[in-house]
Amino acid sequence: MISTSDLKTGLTIEYDDSIWRVVEFQHVKPGKGAAFVRSKLKNLRTGALQDKTFRAGEKFETAHIETKTMQYLYEDNGNHVFMDTSTYEQLDIPGERIEEELNYMKENMEVSIMMYGSEVIGVEVPTKVELKVVETEPGIRGDTSGGGSKPATLETGAVVIVPLFVNKDDVLVINTDEGTYVSRA
């Protein structure tokens, strides 16, 4: 058990029959009345963000989230198959649970699977991934006064905005947190 004074960013807690990660928090001591904690929590099962206010001294159960390194193998009828790299056990995760992450995952890529007991909470892809451009318009120089940009479709189906000099079949480094172009690989 932990109390509100132990809350910190990144901590996972059990609250209201769900698992929450503390995104941000602030201890408030008003001039009149009791102290309290304002927090922003992310529900790890649904992905929803909620603002919660707790009285000082309120207690929570910590949620122990285990992270396993697994390799993404393939998609099979809407389920995505991952293999534990140490035990070779396979795990199926429905596509609806990991829609955002699928934009940056390609076969045989190693990812981190977050688990609470035997329940899969989510998938964490590396912060930067290298993906190939499968479709983009040719960039025409002289059309813009500034840098200029255009959309490009990647091998996973994700669409990112790239500079005009990027061509089809280029391999790009993509930031998965923001879904943005970083550089050529």
Domains contained in the chain, CATH given: 2-62 (2.30.30.30), 65-124 (2.40.50.140), 128-184 (2.40.50.140)
Instruction: Note the pLDDT of residue 146.
Output: 66
Instruction: Note the pLDDT of residue 145.
Output: 58
Residues 123, 132: Cα–Cα separation, whole Å: 22
Share of the chain above pLDDT 70, in %: 96
Residue 185 has pLDDT above 90, yes or no: no
Beta carbons of 172 and 181 less than 8 angstroms apart = yes
Instruction: Note the pLDDT of residue 131.
Output: 92
Mean pLDDT of all residues in 59-79 = 89
* Verdict on whether the full-model pTM lies above 0.85: no
116 residue type, one letter: Y
How many helical (H) and strand (E) elements, i.e. helices and strands, does the chain have?
Answer: 1, 16
Residue 47 has pLDDT above 80, yes or no: no
The residues near 76 (Cβ < 8 Å, ≥ 6 apart) are 92
Residues 131, 143: Cα–Cα separation, whole Å: 27
CA angle (76 as vertex; 69, 87 as ends), nearest 5? 30
The 8-class DSSP code of residue 1 comes to -
Q: What DSSP line would sit under 81-107, residue for residue?
A: EEEETTT--EEEEEGGGGHHHHTT--T
Total count of residues recorded for the chain = 185
Residues 155, 115: Cα–Cα separation, whole Å: 28
Instruction: Note the pLDDT of residue 141.
Output: 65
* Model pLDDT for residues 141-174, shown as the tens digit of each residue: 665 556 778 899 999 999 999 988 888 899 999 9
Mean pLDDT of all residues in 101-128 = 88
Mean pLDDT of all residues in 76-94 = 89
For residue 184, which of 176, 174, 172, 175 has the smallest C-alpha distance? 172
For residue 7, which of 43, 49, 58, 48 has the smallest C-alpha distance? 58
